[in-house]
Amino acid sequence: MRVLTAFIAIAAGILILGGYFFPPLVGLQTLLLNWAIILTGVAALVGIFNLISVHTDKVRRGEKGSVYSALLVISLVVTFALGIILRPGHGVMKAVMNGIIIPTEAALMGILTISLLYAAIGLLRRRVDVMSILFLLTAAFLLLGSVTLPLGDIPLLGTMSRWVTQVLVLGGVRGILIGVALGALTTGLRVLFGADRPYGGS
């Protein structure tokens, strides 16, 4: 059985990879990718149903925080039903997106910013060196450069903050993406050669 699963995984990987280099394999490549997309969607649905099952069980048993579990289940079911009935482009769905989801994400980003500064201060308490001081100063600099102050923006601070986020940070993000791509490539090659078998057994 392990040999069969390894053969199927390696064959599928070679066929999908070959579709990028050999035009006759494009149709088969598209078919396999569509199957993968369908399986991913089914896995997401299974995860959603599992989430509902876990939280409804918490509500049924009356555990601590069951009110939040009930709110989560109701919100998920209502949003899912509205998305199926009205479609994502409907005005109601846009209102839900603009009035609930986006403000919630903005609030979470604000909490993340404060947590980042708190972590930087905690880092200074444990270890005072050049990198920790630079981390705190950079976080404070970017925060002051991106907010609207009561007395107006600090001269040159906004421009310098945008330069840091659009040049230095963007370079770091690209480096991270290159590293992720190389890691994915290495993992894919290990699966193709049978060195890793995440599909069942080693």
DSSP states of 165-199 as a string? IIIIHHHHHHHHHHHHHHHHHHHHHHHHTTS--TT
Confidence band (pLDDT; 50, 70, 90) for 151?
low
Question: Is it the case that residue 18 has pLDDT exceeding 80?
Answer: yes
Task: Output the pLDDT for position 179.
Answer: 93
133 versus 178: which is more confidently predicted? 178
Closest to 8 (Cα-Cα) out of 196, 192, 131, 201: 192
96 versus 19: which is more confidently predicted? 19
Confidence band (pLDDT; 50, 70, 90) for 90?
confident
Mean pLDDT of the region 115-131: 81
1 versus 112: which is more confidently predicted? 112
In this predicted model, what pLDDT tens digit does every residue of 21-58 receive, in sequence order? Answer: 899 889 999 999 999 999 999 999 899 899 999 999 99
Handedness of CA 80, 82, 84, 88 (dihedral sign): negative
Task: Output the pLDDT for position 37.
Answer: 94
Question: Is it the case that residue 143 has pLDDT exceeding 60?
Answer: yes
Burial 45-59 (b: 16+ CB within 10 A, else e): eeeeeeebeebeebb
User: Who's near 14: CB < 8 A, 6+ residues apart?
Assistant: 192
At position 183, the amino acid (one-letter code) is G
Closest to 138 (Cα-Cα) out of 110, 107, 165, 177: 165
The mean pLDDT of the chain is 83
Question: Is it the case that residue 12 has pLDDT exceeding 60?
Answer: yes
Gap between the Cα atoms of 26 and 168, Å rounded = 39
Task: Output the pLDDT for position 38.
Answer: 96
Confidence band (pLDDT; 50, 70, 90) for 16?
confident
Distances (CA, A) of 98 to 93, 101, 102, 106, 148: 9, 6, 5, 11, 22
Distances (CA, A) of 197 to 40, 106, 202: 19, 40, 6
**pTM > 0.75: yes or no:** no
Tokens of 168: 């230095």
Question: Is it the case that residue 154 has pLDDT exceeding 70?
Answer: no
Question: Is it the case that residue 10 has pLDDT exceeding 90?
Answer: no
Give 25-90 as a 3 state SS string: HHHHHHHHHHHHHHHHHHHHHHHHHHHHHHHHHHHHHCCCCHHHHHHHHHHHHHHHHHHHHHCCCC
Mean pLDDT of the region 174-181: 92
